[in-house]
Amino acid sequence: MQKITREALIEKAAALLSEGKVDRVLGWKSGEFSYDVTPAIFNNVEEMQKDFVYGDFSGANFSKYLVKETKKDGKVLIFLKPCDTYSFNQLLTEHRFDREKVYAVGIPCDGMIDENKIKQAVGDGILSIVSESETVKVETLYDGVKELNRADVFSERCLNCKSKKHVAYDELIGEDGLVLDSNRFDEVAKLEKMTADERFAFWQNELSRCIRCNACRDICPACTCEKCVFDNPNSGVENKAAANSFEEKMFHIIRAFHVAGRCTDCGECSRVCPQHIPLHLLNRKFIKDINTFYGDYQAGAEVGSRAPLVNYTKEDIEPSEAVNRGDE
Amino acid sequence: MQVNEYKPKIVAFCCNWCSYAGADLAGSNRLAYPAEVKVIRVPCSCRVNPMFILRAFQRGADGVILCGCHPGDCHYTSGNYYTRRRMALLFSMLEYLGIEKERTRVEWVSAAEGAKFAATMNDFVATVKSLGENKRLEDLRCKR
Amino acid sequence: MRKCSLSNSTALFNKIAENATLYIPVDLEKGRVAYKKYADGMKMSDALKTDRSAKDFFFPQTENLMEFKTEGKSIEIIDNRSEAEDFVVFGVRACDVKSLEVLDKVFLAEPVDSYYKNRREHGVIVSMACTRPTETCFCGTFGIDASAPKGDIECYKTDDAFYFNAVTEKGEALLAKLDGVTESSDEKAVNEQKEQIKKVLDKLPLKDLKADEFGADKTDKFFNSPEWKNLSEACLGCGTCTFVCPTCQCYDIKDFKTNKGVQRFRCWDSCMYSDFTKMSAGQPRLTQMERFRQRFMHKLVYFPTNNDGMFSCVGCGRCVAKCPISMNIVKVMKTLGGKNND
């Protein structure tokens, strides 16, 4: 697959800006290190030339920012990787942003790197990370340059990429890819095969680390409520910190349930979790169940599709049968 | 005589149009079902969102059962169809988290099924009783 | 100076654990590091930082303050405070040690927070010099010396031994109890390590970050800066930075209605949240930009203004590593800090 360069994207943005097709650009801004890329608004080409970056750490899904951006005047240019386009469509389905105010450029993606995997592999003192086609060269303070296999440090969601196909764009750079056969449900299936006690212990261990920073919720393109039930003092369940393991479970069950059928499996929740809780395993359980019970459904694959939880058939599975499916 | 026999706390969400009337019928027919069952009337089974179920456990329930009209008979045409999907997913998720699947149940009980209501409750209470106290979804603060 | 060879560390830990609960940093799965209650034979982690700071020991994320029990029309108030147990936290880095000094300013000033004070009095900090600081470290910016970590006992770990130096009376008392497992030593190895640390600190990417432009009474200089808008543009309003921060000390007091009464507890709050300091008239900070500004102004300007110039950032770098959108105090300082940080 052709590699998309920073320059190609700046060139595209420059053309669109000068033609007056867009007024500003939503893009990735370089930081202090090789990996701390921040979403930012660029108002002109000069700003882009200074700080714009596109590379292995441009994983952030910008779709949700459109909710805020399209409330402003003018048109915004957004670059969408294949998985971002699903979130884009899902938000459109839910009428969460104004499509007229967006110019979407689809860009191919060959996978993003998880900086935590690099940190784990090379340890402290990362001075620079340079990526080549198959390898990643990491310069460190203590051990010189270390070479890693690029595939070994891909983020989890990219290792289990579900699609290289863009399902929404105004314009596409490069060639479109295909929907892939991924193994993304393997981990879920593994958990399902465990005993109830083992599963309970697994989740107790994972969820007990939660610090209730709400990053998983706040980054989620499907979580766009004006006021979350967990932030609303009148809801009776508002809490700023989980007082015990019940509240931990409640938050995570409800968070995942609320996006069930709307979650596109973009993986942002797990990416941003400061405590590295595998939140995608909750979301994927719902997706897997939905696929099993009600037929394959990919949220965001098309605009306007009816999500499984606001739909039904007369022959749906009974809840009592559903809980036994995992044992099969 | 057993002095400290364990009595589970059971919350039964019953839809106004069928199951609540079914419970009523069970009562007027003098069909016995355990006093541990606390019935909460809801306009439709569809009114019950996952938070209700979790909150019932938080507040000390050992089992939660949700009763509604038979599929196809919903007073609001389709409410219980949505309930069915929601609860299928929620219960499956609870099981995924290692919580005993026998603690939650959905049962369709019509207004004419007083006997079914009583039988369902008897069976559910017995099942939960055999499981013992709810430990995996408890909030200790509510038990003090 | 006392010395204990690494081969003897289990005996050392067991000795400490005899008299107090001991917490040491432990390696967990997938590169996680956390303080764990010591049990015989447990291995100490060599990782630079624990995922969560030592703040948790003194100011836990949730804490019960009191209980109310109601019966009929009577109400009983139950004070559930009790004397904290003695505990030792081993291997606290210089930045986290300094963070306790910051927290002391808040919680030990009048009116004294008795919950915090109780723990502080019963806790002993054994610090640890950093031989391998990482790229996100910038404690030097705030005048913290990673080669002199302070605490109650200063500790240096070389390839073959721990070296201890008591700093406070509490530290002396603990060190005296460890006489059986430690021996007297000169300072040669420690001085060598200090030199080596200084050399490493000079190579850190953030070594030139300066806080000079910030500090007490600089509110007017920064408050209305146009830069806040761009800096906060992508902020999600999550609480990650505040909850991993060793010095963030804001909390909310809440009542939880139990089945028989009320549990009053406090929990960490975050100035990034939309309902932070919400009152009947609404929120004082309506937009994320204002909330974002509050956090950094508090660290860099308000706190120094109220505390003799002490910054409430210790440069531990946790927020730098954890922020979901990689916006952090370093970028804020570089953007606002003028020519010193170009």
A54-64 pLDDT, tens per residue?
999 999 999 99
Which of C74, C104, C59 minimizes the C-alpha distance to C303? Answer: C104
Mean pLDDT of B35-62: 96
SS3 B106: strand
Identify whether B27 is part of a domain.
Answer: yes
Interface membership of A39 toward C (CB under 8 Å): yes
Q: Is pLDDT at B95 greater than 60 in this prediction?
A: yes
Neighbors of chain B with 3 or more C-beta pairs under 8 Å: A, C
Give the pLDDT score at C256.
92
Phi/psi at C278 (nearest 5 deg)? -70, 135
Interface membership of B30 toward C (CB under 8 Å): no
Give the pLDDT score at A324.
72
Domain count along chain B:
1
Interface membership of B140 toward C (CB under 8 Å): no
SS3 C255: strand
Question: What is the pTM for the complete model shown?
Answer: 0.95
Q: Which of B84, B91, B95 sits opposite A316 (nearest CB)?
A: B84
The tens digit of pLDDT for each residue in C28-46 reads 988 899 999 999 999 999 9
CB C85 within 8 A of CB C122: yes
Give the pLDDT score at A4.
84
Mean pLDDT of A139-167: 95
Tell me which residues of chain C have a C-beta less than 8 Å from any C-beta of chain B.
256, 258-260, 263
Give the pLDDT score at A328.
47
The tens digit of pLDDT for each residue in B113-139 reads 999 999 999 999 999 999 999 999 999
Task: Report how far residue C188's alpha carbon sits from residue C204's, in angstroms, rounded to the nearest whole number.
Answer: 25
Number of residues in chain A: 328
Identify whether B15 is part of a domain.
Answer: no
Identify whether B7 is part of a domain.
Answer: no
Work out the percent of chain A whose per-residue pLDDT is above 70. 98
Q: Is pLDDT at B80 greater than 60 in this prediction?
A: yes
On chain B, the residues whose CB falls within 8 A of the CB of C256 are 141
Which of C175, C193, C192 minimizes the C-alpha distance to C184? Answer: C175
Integer CA distances (angstroms), B63 to B48, B51, B114, C181, C245, in order: 15, 14, 21, 55, 40
Q: Please tell me which residue of chain A has the smallest CA distance to C334.
A: A32
Contact C256 B60 (CB under 8 A): no
Nearest CA-CA distance, residue A196 and chain C, Å: 22
Mean pLDDT of A179-183: 92
Q: Is pLDDT at A197 greater than 60 in this prediction?
A: yes
Integer CA distances (angstroms), C173 to A174, C14, C117, C213, in order: 70, 17, 19, 41
In whole numbers, what is the pLDDT of chain A averaged over residues?
A: 94
CB A170 within 8 A of CB A16: no
Residue B103 belongs to domain spanning: 21-131
Q: How confident is the model at residue A235 (pLDDT cuts 50, 70, 90)?
A: confident
The 3 state secondary structure assigned to A36-53 is: CCEEEEECCHHHHHHHEC
Q: How confident is the model at residue A2 (pLDDT cuts 50, 70, 90)?
A: low
- Give Cβ neighbours of residue A72 (< 8 Å, ≥ 6 apart): none
Task: Report how far residue A260's alpha carbon sits from residue A290's, in angstroms, rounded to the nearest whole number.
Answer: 9
The tens digit of pLDDT for each residue in A286-322 reads 999 999 999 999 999 999 999 999 999 999 999 999 9
Q: Is pLDDT at A25 greater than 50 in this prediction?
A: yes
Identify whether B2 is part of a domain.
Answer: no
Give the pLDDT score at C340.
57
| Residue of A29, A37, A41, A124 to mutate, interface with C, max C Cβ within 10 Å | A124
Neighbors of chain A with 3 or more C-beta pairs under 8 Å: B, C
Q: Which residues of C82-104 are buried (b: 16+ CB within 10 A; e: fewer)?
A: eebeebbbbbbbbbbbbbbebbe
∠ CA(A93), CA(A95), CA(A99), 5° rounding?
Answer: 90
Q: Is pLDDT at C342 greater than 60 in this prediction?
A: no
Task: Tell me which residues of chain C, numbers 308 to 327, contact chain A at a CB-CB cutoff of 8 Å.
Answer: 320, 322, 324-327
Contact B59 C256 (CB under 8 A): no
Contact C236 A116 (CB under 8 A): no
Mean pLDDT of C305-315: 96
Give the pLDDT score at A133.
85
Q: How confident is the model at residue A327 (pLDDT cuts 50, 70, 90)?
A: very low
| Residue of A234, A320, A328 to mutate, interface with B, max B Cβ within 10 Å | A320
Mean pLDDT of C133-137: 96
Q: Which of B60, B141, B143 sits opposite C256 (nearest CB)?
A: B141
The two tokens of residue C13 are 């830990």
Q: Which residue has the higher pLDDT, C290 or A1?
A: C290
Task: Report how far residue C130's alpha carbon sits from residue C148's, in angstroms, rounded to the nearest whole number.
Answer: 9
CB A271 within 8 A of CB C323: no
Give the pLDDT score at A122.
93
Q: Please tell me which residue of chain A has the smallest CA distance to B80.
A: A312
Mean pLDDT of A3-31: 95
CB A146 within 8 A of CB A118: no
Interface membership of B51 toward A (CB under 8 Å): yes
The CA R_g of chain A, rounded to the nearest whole Å, is: 21
Identify residue B33 by its one-letter amino acid code.
Y
Identify whether B95 is part of a domain.
Answer: yes
Give the pLDDT score at A325.
63
Give the pLDDT score at B2.
57
Task: Report how far residue A52's alpha carbon sits from residue C264's, in angstroms, rounded to the nearest whole number.
Answer: 49
Identify residue C202 by its one-letter amino acid code.
D
Task: Report how far residue B37's alpha carbon sits from residue B123's, in angstroms, rounded to the nearest whole number.
Answer: 11
| CA trace torsion A27, A28, A30, A36 (10° rounding) | 160
The string of DSSP letters for C269-319 reads: --TTSTTTT-BTTB-S--SHHHHHHHHHHIIIIIHHHHTTT--S-----HH
Identify whether B85 is part of a domain.
Answer: yes
Angle, in degrees to the nearest 10, between helices C114-122 and C94-107: 140
Mean pLDDT of C207-212: 94
Contact B141 C258 (CB under 8 A): yes
Task: Report how far residue B122's alpha carbon sits from residue B26's, in angstroms, rounded to the nearest whole number.
Answer: 12
Q: Which of A229, A236, A312 sits opposite B85 (nearest CB)?
A: A312
Contact C135 A125 (CB under 8 A): yes
On chain A, the residues whose CB falls within 8 A of the CB of B97 are 199-200, 203, 249, 253
B113 class by beta-carbon count within 10 Å (0-12 exposed, 13-18 middle, 19+ buried): buried
In whole numbers, what is the pLDDT of chain C averaged over residues?
A: 94
Work out the percent of chain A whose per-residue pLDDT is above 90. 91
Mean pLDDT of A246-275: 96
Identify whether B5 is part of a domain.
Answer: no
Which of C241, C245, C209, C220 minimizes the C-alpha distance to C302? Answer: C220
Q: Which of A37, A238, A240 sits opposite C326 (nearest CB)?
A: A37
Interface membership of B135 toward A (CB under 8 Å): no
Respond yes or no on whether the N-terminal peptide bond of residue C111 is cis (omega within 30° of 0).
yes
On chain C, the residues whose CB falls within 8 A of the CB of A245 are none
- Give Cβ neighbours of residue B30 (< 8 Å, ≥ 6 apart): none
Neighbors of chain C with 3 or more C-beta pairs under 8 Å: A, B
Interface membership of B124 toward A (CB under 8 Å): no
In whole numbers, what is the pLDDT of chain B averaged over residues?
A: 95
Mean pLDDT of A189-205: 96
Mean pLDDT of C299-320: 96
Q: Is pLDDT at C277 greater than 70 in this prediction?
A: yes
Q: Is pLDDT at A219 greater than 70 in this prediction?
A: yes
- Give Cβ neighbours of residue C160 (< 8 Å, ≥ 6 apart): C5, C6, C7
Identify whether B73 is part of a domain.
Answer: yes
Q: Is pLDDT at C330 greater than 70 in this prediction?
A: yes
Work out the percent of chain B whose per-residue pLDDT is above 70. 98
Identify residue B50 by its one-letter amino acid code.
P
Q: Please tell me which residue of chain C has the smallest CA distance to A36.
A: C326
Task: Tell me which residues of chain C, numbers 34 to 93, contact chain A at a CB-CB cutoff of 8 Å.
Answer: 48, 51-52, 61-62
- Give Cβ neighbours of residue A322 (< 8 Å, ≥ 6 apart): A289, A293, B88, B89, B91, B92
Work out the percent of chain C whose per-residue pLDDT is above 70. 99
The two tokens of residue C132 are 């391998």
Q: Which of B81, B95, B139 sits opposite A323 (nearest CB)?
A: B95
